[in-house]
Structure 1
């Protein structure tokens, strides 16, 4: 996302001096994608201009301290906290459903407010900004502090279109039903409404979320993606771009969850009129691993599909650079950082016109890549 817009809005609160900014970033970790990457990148970028105190869970402590030992950020102050000493175990991330994380996050928000109130009495913050989780239907109790409150970007207002439910398993349909119920329950939470009403500005990742923010009481709402790349990251990613002729190979990267839509990628690959040497690589791990492998067998393309499991970031990007296009058919992704990374690496993106990816992959960001006598838009 553009940090220029964010910095302009922050500067509007108090001009001509460095501010003391309190950042709520439950998920915050360097060298990570998804929400932890959003939290870390936001904190790092704002710290270029202002003094920043970041509230974060202990689960990210080792990675943060290792990064800061190598590359200190003078204006960045990290405050670790967790409710009742309960540090959430992310060692099973991507391997099982983790419903209890929502309870941990809600309790963490309460603890964060109590810690922030004491810090504010000592430090005197100029404003507070909630960054992660990027979830509009959960409150941020930091909005109760007597200082300007900035919210987001937040997402979660996106839904899987019903026409895509036909290909989902019973378990996936139950998940989608519970997700919708949880979201509607969150919209009834008086603290969510209070968070919306007290926000000076609420950033929404998509138009779908923006409409929901208006409904729960936010007055100033703008659409702004929560994902972005700085110049250093773009420079690194361009090194993975290949100038050589690429094989007919497609790749999907991410947690193997039903709503990531990789089953749609497999179906499209099987139905496309592609040469026998064409390949489809899937990088990631999660509960859909076995169902996806079985689907590849059923579709008769198992010999052309390679499952790489989860790989180190550098190795993942190397694989990306050897592929013709990224296939990212996510059903309700608020962000989709991998789409930005692929475009920065010169790799076209094939995605659905849904959620965060549809905000990034537009006519304004397209380029044309010639594939034989056909043209692919990326």
Structure 2
């Protein structure tokens, strides 16, 4: 088994640096980061109908300011290159490929759509994320709508090489200076033969002062395929009121693979709301857990709702809400309240059962309400292998 890995979090100034153990790398869908990357130069985009191409000596494409712009980059943004939307206007930016470099929106009311490319097949199948490690999207328009989707997976031979769907974001989305609605979706699994979808986020998402962040695992691709976790990376709600919604995708296996959160989520500081749900199992697996990573409240009052995935076929129960992951990962889901009055709601997926061994629980992990006067609602309320501190159970 590959060794476990650490993802740093708390990247925003004023927040402590934390590390979260995310278990085995076998949970992650295969992801290539080098197959389509290039040195600076060679990015081609059409800006208002006029084609522009970067070079090593001129690695930037800039849309004009003071007007609305349509920017289309059909093969992504290469490492070392920068694409800038115009300021003081509405930019519609479409990237049909991976962002390895830097993309900035900069306008007044912008729409940004990034879609990972089709998988490459030589020398072996590789899928590609919407934003790669090292790639950065700065969501710095006054108001933005952002959608980032990972590339699809590949499998045509039952015993041959394959590639699962790629993450939507494996780099950085920085939306700290604008009001934005950010949606990140993992790539779908192969439409031809069963394999696994891509996770929504394996990188870092820094949320806005207002608006929302929605992250979900990719579509399973075909009946019988497996979904994926919503988040393996870092999602920080920031200083404002941004809401965060994370969901694992549905698929045959369920279990840890399709957990809602296996990374780190921090609620926004002012009235932060975090909603996390595990993916449903459509075969013989158990519903996926809602959280096997870390969820933290912000400094202001937070409402954290975590629900396990349902089981829609087979005899198993739904997943636990805040969970201790099953073997071989055995990560313990943790939920930590902040200094204010927090509300924590933990639900097992359906069917719900409090029976020993085969049942499920709203919480089989660790919960600490922190300071303030906190309430915890846990359904089913079975407490085997779980802890709840500083929180009144209602």
Flag whether TM exceeds 0.5 (same fold): no
Normalising by structure 1, report the TM-score.
0.28
Higher helix share: 1
> Which structure carries more relative contact order (alpha carbon 8 Å, separation 6+)?
1
Higher strand share: 2
